[in-house]
Structure 1
Amino acid sequence: MSIEIFLKGSSKYKLYDNLNKPDESKSYCKYCLSKKSIFSKFSENLNELCCLFARNLIELNTKIQGEDENNERCRYFNFWINDQLKKKISATIKNSTHRNYIRLQFLQVFFKIKSHSLHNDCSYEYDQNVDLDLWEKWKNLYDFINNYNHIKNLVIHDYNLCQKYPSYLSYIEEVYNNYKNECCNTVSRKCPFSSGFKDWCNQKDFLNILTCAKTNAVSETFTHEGRNEGSMEQQGTGITYIAKNSQLERSFSESGETLTTKSDYYSKLGIGFSFLTILPTFFYLYKFTTFGNWIRFKVLKHNINIKPGEDANTLMTQELNNEDENIYNDGYNITYHPS
Structure 2
Amino acid sequence: MPIEIFLKDSPKYKLYDELDKEGESKSYCKYCKNVKSVLSKFNGNLNELCCLFARNLIELSTALQKEGKNNERCKYFNFWINDQIKKKISTTVKNSIHRNYIRLKFLQVFYQIKLHSLHKDCYYEYDENVDLDLWGKWKNLYDFIKNYDHIKNLVISNYNLCKMYPAYLSYIEEIYKNYKNECCNTVSRKCPFSSGFNDWCNQNDFLNTLTCAETNAVSETFIQDRRTEGSIKQQETGIAHIVKDSQLERSFSESGETLTTKSDYYSKLGIGFSLLTILPTFFYLYKFTTFGNWIRFKILKHNINIKSGEDTQTLMTQELNKDDENAYNDGYNITYHPS
Per the shorter chain, which TM-score range? 0.5 to 0.7
Q: 1:157-195 deviations in whole A, cap 9, x for unaligned? A: 100000000000000000001100000031000001011
Contact 1:78–1:124 (CA under 8 A) maintained in structure 2:
yes
What's the counterpart of residue 321 of structure 2? none
Q: What is the CA–CA distance in structure 1 between the aligned matches of 2:228 and 2:71, rounded to whole Å?
A: 53
Residue 11 of structure 2 aligns to a residue whose secondary structure is: coil
Q: What is the CA–CA distance in structure 1 between the aligned matches of 2:39 and 2:229, rounded to whole Å?
A: 61
Alignment RMSD (CA, Å): 2.4
Query: Normalising by structure 1, what TM-score?
Result: 0.65
- Following superposition, the deviation at residue 91 of structure 1 comes to 1.0
Q: What is the CA–CA distance in structure 2 between the aligned matches of 1:165 and 1:189, rounded to whole Å?
A: 31
What's the counterpart of residue 166 of structure 1? 166
**Equivalent residues in 2 for 1:257-336, closer than 5 Å:** none
What's the counterpart of residue 120 of structure 2? 120
What amino acid is the match of 1:22?
A: E
Q: Which runs of 4+ in 1 moved over 4 A?
A: 214-217
Percent identity for Structure 1 against Structure 2: 71
What's the counterpart of residue 218 of structure 1? 224
Q: What is the CA–CA distance in structure 1 between the aligned matches of 2:167 and 2:129, rounded to whole Å?
A: 28
Contact 1:159–1:214 (CA under 8 A) maintained in structure 2:
no
What's the counterpart of residue 58 of structure 2? 58
Q: What is the CA–CA distance in structure 1 between the aligned matches of 2:55 and 2:43, rounded to whole Å?
A: 20
Distance of aligned partners of 1:93 and 1:215 in 2 relative to their CA distance in 1, 3 Å threshold: farther
Query: Rg larger in 1 or in 2?
Result: 2
How many residues align? The count is: 234
Q: What is the CA–CA distance in structure 2 between the aligned matches of 1:220 and 1:169, rounded to whole Å?
A: 24
Q: What is the CA–CA distance in structure 1 between the aligned matches of 2:179 and 2:222, rounded to whole Å?
A: 39
What's the counterpart of residue 84 of structure 1? 84
Q: What is the CA–CA distance in structure 1 between the aligned matches of 2:48 and 2:227, rounded to whole Å?
A: 52
What's the counterpart of residue 302 of structure 1? none
Contact 1:40–1:47 (CA under 8 A) maintained in structure 2:
yes
What's the counterpart of residue 19 of structure 1? 19
Q: What is the CA–CA distance in structure 1 between the aligned matches of 2:119 and 2:151, rounded to whole Å?
A: 33
What's the counterpart of residue 141 of structure 1? 141
Contact 1:18–1:63 (CA under 8 A) maintained in structure 2:
yes
- Following superposition, the deviation at residue 8 of structure 1 comes to 1.1
Larger mean CA deviation between 61-70 and 137-146 belongs to: 61-70
- Following superposition, the deviation at residue 218 of structure 1 comes to 3.4
**Equivalent residues in 2 for 1:102-251, closer than 5 Å:** 102-208=102-208, 209-210=210-211, 211-212=214-215, 213-214=219-220, 216=222, 218-219=224-225, 221=227
Structure 2: gaps spanning 5 or more residues: 231-247, 253-258, 268-339
Q: What is the CA–CA distance in structure 1 between the aligned matches of 2:42 and 2:26, rounded to whole Å?
A: 21
Contact 1:182–1:191 (CA under 8 A) maintained in structure 2:
yes
Q: What is the CA–CA distance in structure 1 between the aligned matches of 2:119 and 2:96, rounded to whole Å?
A: 28
Distance of aligned partners of 1:203 and 1:33 in 2 relative to their CA distance in 1, 3 Å threshold: same
Distance of aligned partners of 1:182 and 1:157 in 2 relative to their CA distance in 1, 3 Å threshold: same
Q: What is the CA–CA distance in structure 1 between the aligned matches of 2:109 and 2:22, rounded to whole Å?
A: 19
